[in-house]
Each structure stands twice: as structure tokens, then as C-alpha cells.
Structure 1
Amino acid sequence: MPVKIEDRPVEQVREQVIDQLIYNYSHGVISAEAFERRLDEAMATTDNTALLELVSDLELTTDTQYQSEKRAQFTPNYSSQNHSETLHLRSIMGSNERSGQWVVPKEIHLTNLLGSIELDFTDAIFQHQHITLHVNCLLGSDEIYVPEHVNVVSKMFSVVGSVENKSVSLNKLHGPTITIEGKVILGSVEIKVKRTIKEKFVSFANNLKASWKDMNKY
């Protein structure tokens, strides 16, 4: 006997509904306006029945190819190569940045005195499931960008400073975990997503739609 809809985990139902919205939009069943409107509602509601109503008129369901492409898009990049286990980024009255496609070591140390540091994990290649980020920020600002599939655990100590964790909450069972620890004094540390999860869903859906059109040309 299937589990009652009201007893199912809401994040599980939300993921199912968003998948069906993306799949039907990519196959031209609903318009871009309807897709984005329903996507907004799916991301906002916490009622399982309301979630399922958003796709009650959509007959197409996802297939194995869709799930494969979704994993490729939303699963973190992992490398089995043996790279350095430690990275040090320092900024003293200046700026320092690490972004693009780079290999994430097991430990990262940020030292910031009256400067700014930007650490961007958006396109990074992970080689460890657990990463520790040590932060020492005095009168400076650190900006840390993480993709949606990465778990963030903040253990920061703040003295007349600010620590903001704006990373998203999703089903991240297969994603790496970044533990951020250390202290910020008279400065700021902000953890956020460079591209919102909605923007990523829309981009993924548009790419699928373009691929589907290309396939139907032949």
C-alpha cells in the first residue's frame, strides 16, 4: 500500500514535482511562463497536496535518460587524482581570489587582514567528501560561493563581526560537506550561492529543450 501523500517527506515530493515540470517543459507541453510560474510555486509551498496539484495535468514522466542528465548537471565534479592536501589564501590590505575550475584540497586556510578574499567552489573539482575551511578574518571581508549540491556547516566565532550562511537547503546526500571554522573580528564572512537554484533549474530545462528540438530535426 503506498504511503499517504501527506506523510511523505516534502523535499522528496518537491524534487519529484520539479523533475516533472522540467521534463514537460523541455518537451514543449507547457510554456516558459507556465513553467516558471509553477516552478516558483513548487519551490515556495510546503504542502504535499498543493505540490502534486502543480503537475496533475501533466502526463509525461521522467525517464532514465533524464535522470542521467540531471545527475551530470547537479552532481559535484570529483577527481581521483592525488593533489595537494592543503591550500593557503592570504590577503593583507589587498585582495585574493580562487575561482574557476580548480581542485579542492582537504584543508583550506584563509588569512585576511584589512583585505578581501573570494573563494568560489561553483566550478571546483572535489576529491574529498569532507573539507575543512579554516578562517581567520580581521577587519576584512571573505566571500565564499558554494554550488547547491554542497553541504555547509558553519562553526565560526564572531567578535563585533558578521557571519552569514545563505547556502541553499536541498537533498544533498551525495554532495561534499564543507565545515567552516575559525574567527572573524570586526569583519564579515558571507557564504552564498552565485547562481540561484531557480536559475540553475531553468538553465537545465532550457538545455534539455534545445537538445530535444535538435533530436527531432532528424
Structure 2
Amino acid sequence: MPEDRPQRITQHERDQTVRRLQEAYASGELSHDELDDRLQQALTATTSSELAPILASLPEIAPDRTVRISAKAGRIQRRGTWQVPKTFEIESEFGKVDLDLSRAIIEHPAIQLELKLRFGKARITVPRNAVVELDDLRCEWKQPVDRPPVDRPTNGVRIRISGEMEFGRLVVRYARH
């Protein structure tokens, strides 16, 4: 009789697991420490049975799901390699928002960022070739700062930033590379 050995995982399965963990972190379902722990487990797993518990507590997601993050105070921050949803809603009462999209995984040709910023500051770093649209952003106090480099290509992702900022401030920065 042949032995029933556990099936070794493929690189594709490992990549899918890592991507799902990054999505969960981006949507606030995992803390930074939980993400680190689970990524370590995913990267060292050798069988499918080792991957299953890593994702078991996470809800299934639709590919075009809207991710919402809100905070009364403190910092909302996403940096490094993380999965950017098609629609991202961020609400901050008194805090700071820091989104770095320069190394993020962006699978859509256009993404929507809706900001609701009462007080505080939002800084969004975008890829150098991104096209940022601010037409639907209402500002009551200060106008957003968006100074794209003159020599940049404009063939990248289209980022539509909408919403409202009462006494907050938005600064859009472009990555150097």
C-alpha cells in the first residue's frame, strides 16, 4: 500500500497565503505582530495542512471588497508590501494617516481612496508614475498639497482621492523610483 504523505505546497499556494495575510493587515483584520507571526509560519510551511490554520480565522474576501479603517486618535499606517484594495475608506478623527503605496501591490488600474479627516494630517506616498485625482475631495481649511515631478511618466495607476477634510491636511508625495 502506498503511504499517504502530506502534499507539499507549491510556490503559488505560498504566495496566495502571503497575499491574503497582507490583505488582512491592510483591512485591519490583523495587527502588525499577528502579520509577522503568520508570515513566518507561511514562509516556513511545507504542507497544505500547515497553511490551513494560518488563514482559518480570517473571513473570506471578495476581490473588489471595500476596506474601511477608522480611528479616533493615533495613527493609521500602511507601508512596505501590502495589498491595496480597489476601494479604501479611511476615517480619522484626531489622528495621522500615513499610506505608502510606492511598494504596495496594486492589481487594479484605478483605485478609490475616500478620506474622512476631521483634524490631523494625511500623507499618501504614491508610485512615481501614478496619476492622482483630487477633484472629489472637499477641503474646508487647507487645500491638499500635490506636486507631481515634472519629468514623471503618467502610465501608472489612477488614484482617485475623494471625501472630506474639515481641519485636516493632505500631502501627496511621489516615490523617487
TM-score greater than 0.5 by the shorter chain: yes
Deviations 1:162-208 (A, max 9, x none): 311133352223x1100001111111011112x43xxx3xxxxxxxx
Note if contact 1:162-1:184 (Cα within 8 Å) is conserved in structure 2.
no
Give the alignment partner of residue 132 of structure 1, picking from 112, 116, 129: 112
Q: For 1:113 and 1:107, how far apart are their aligned partners in 2?
A: 20
* % identical aligned pairs: 23
Note if contact 1:83-1:103 (Cα within 8 Å) is conserved in structure 2.
no
Give the alignment partner of residue 96 of structure 1, picking from 76, 87, 100: 76
CA drift at 1:84? 5.5
Note if contact 1:91-1:117 (Cα within 8 Å) is conserved in structure 2.
no
Aligned residue number for residue 94 of structure 2 = 114
1:153 and 2:133 aligned: yes
Q: For 1:91 and 1:161, how far apart are their aligned partners in 2?
A: 21
SS of equivalent to 1:140: strand
**Structure 1 length as normaliser, TM-score?**
0.49
Note if contact 1:166-1:190 (Cα within 8 Å) is conserved in structure 2.
no
Note if contact 1:87-1:109 (Cα within 8 Å) is conserved in structure 2.
yes
Aligned residue number for residue 183 of structure 1 = 164
Higher helix content, 1 or 2: 1
Give ranges in structure 1 of 5+ residues lacking alignment: 1-81, 201-218
CA drift at 1:94? 1.0
Paired residue total: 114
- Which protein shows a greater Rg? 1
Moved over 6 A (4+): none
**Structure 2 length as normaliser, TM-score?**
0.59
- What letter matches 1:171 in structure 2? P
Aligned residue number for residue 171 of structure 1 = 153
Deviations 1:66-104 (A, max 9, x none): xxxxxxxxxxxxxxxx74522222221211101110111
- What letter matches 1:123 in structure 2? R
Aligned residue number for residue 85 of structure 1 = 65
- What letter matches 1:85 in structure 2? R
Note if contact 2:64-2:87 (Cα within 8 Å) is conserved in structure 1.
no
